[in-house]
Each structure stands twice: as structure tokens, then as C-alpha cells.
Amino acid sequence: MITRIREVRRARGMTLDDVARACEPPTTPQTIGRLETGTRTVSVGWLNRIAAALEVEASDLVDHGERTDLAVVAILGANGATAPRRAAVVVPPSARAGQVAVTVSASVGDYRAGDEIWCDMLQPEDYARALNRDVLVPRPAGRFLFGRLIGREAGNGQPGKLHLLPPGAGGRQSVVADPPWLAVASRLVRSL
């Protein structure tokens, strides 16, 4: 099996040591290097561990032949655009289980019309992970609230009250009591 572990790792800006530490359970950078170069056989178990460490799907680490990657031809930094020192690719985003999307129809706050906001669903016990991040919260009658989660009052066995600020300036804080779930913004897809 031909893998793309090295390309994806580099596209994520991670070192061998970063990936080794992010694996569950952690491993050594040498092991990750051997798996990248093919000097050690990549089992399905290893593929899944490395994919989780890189925050991609396991299928993103396998060379399918029909996948189209984007070649990195320049790196934009403080001193302008420069050529990369070695060949690199960008892994196109793919949806994961438990993700939902919000599309932006009119510019508001940092978001522009045409943006796609990809969100990861969270259960009530994980709401604290979304503090100070933009979230989508369901409301009664098929409505939603989108804004920055700035506070949480835990309830007795319930999610409690969530305090959100709208994305645009000048809006008032909203409070949502006991939402069954929330989705935290994790990726912004924007056409230029």
C-alpha cells in the first residue's frame, strides 16, 4: 500500500515528533518515519492512529490515484511570497462524521457572504471545549443561534445556560437554556 503520510504531515506543518506525541498511545518519531518511508509495514491500526494524530480521515493517508491534491508553489510570509524549500501538497478538506455546515448569505462580523463555516458537533459534557469560540446552537421551532460562546452556567444534570455574543458589532448577548447539542466552528471555507 502506498501511503501519503509524509505529504499530509508536512501539509499540516507537523514534525515526526509532533505526530508521534499526538498518537494514542504515543510512539517514537523513528517509528513514524519508518511508516512514512515504507521501511515498516503500515497496518490498518497504524493508519487509524496516525490519521487521528493528523486530524484527517485514514483514507486521506492512502494514495488512491484519483485524488487531486493541490501543489504548494509558494509560501506567503512577512517578507512576501517565496518558493517552498521542498515539494509539498495541500490536502483538500473532507467532511468528518458529526460535522455540520453553516453558509453565510450576508457579511456579518468576520464572516463574508459566500463563506462556509464547518462545525463539529459537541455533546453537553464537552461544551466547555467551545468557550471563546463561535458556535451554532439549536433553538425551538427549527431556529438557530450563531455567535461566540462567552459563558456557561452548568445546570443540575443538564447542559445549563449558554451565553453567546453575536458575530456582528453592537449586538446583544443571548442566553440559551439547556440546548441538546452545539456545534463549534472548526473550519472556514472562503472563495476569493
Asked: is 5-90 a CATH 1.10.260.40 domain? The reply is yes
* Residue 18 to residue 53: CA distance in whole angstroms: 9
pLDDT tens over the chain, length 192 residues: 578 888 888 878 889 999 999 999 999 999 999 998 888 888 889 999 999 999 888 888 886 655 566 778 888 888 888 888 887 777 677 777 788 999 999 898 899 999 999 999 998 888 888 999 999 999 888 889 999 999 888 766 666 889 999 988 888 899 988 888 899 999 898 887
| Residue extent(s) of CATH 1.10.260.40 domains in the chain | 5-90
What's the confidence (pLDDT) of residue 155? 65
Asked: is 99-189 a CATH 1.20.1300 domain? The reply is no
Sort strands 99-103 and 116-122 into parallel, antiparallel or unpaired.
Answer: antiparallel
What's the confidence (pLDDT) of residue 84? 84
What's the confidence (pLDDT) of residue 60? 81
What's the confidence (pLDDT) of residue 97? 78
| Residue extent(s) of CATH 2.30.30 domains in the chain | 99-189
CB half-sphere exposure, 74, CA atoms < 13 A: 6
- Beta bridge pairs of residue 135: 147, 184
What's the confidence (pLDDT) of residue 152? 85
What's the confidence (pLDDT) of residue 28? 95
What's the confidence (pLDDT) of residue 146? 94
Exposed, middle or buried, 110 (CB in 10 Å: 0-12/13-18/19+)? Answer: exposed
What's the confidence (pLDDT) of residue 134? 95
Is this structure's pTM higher than 0.85?
no
129's CB contacts (< 8 A; 6+ apart) are 122, 184
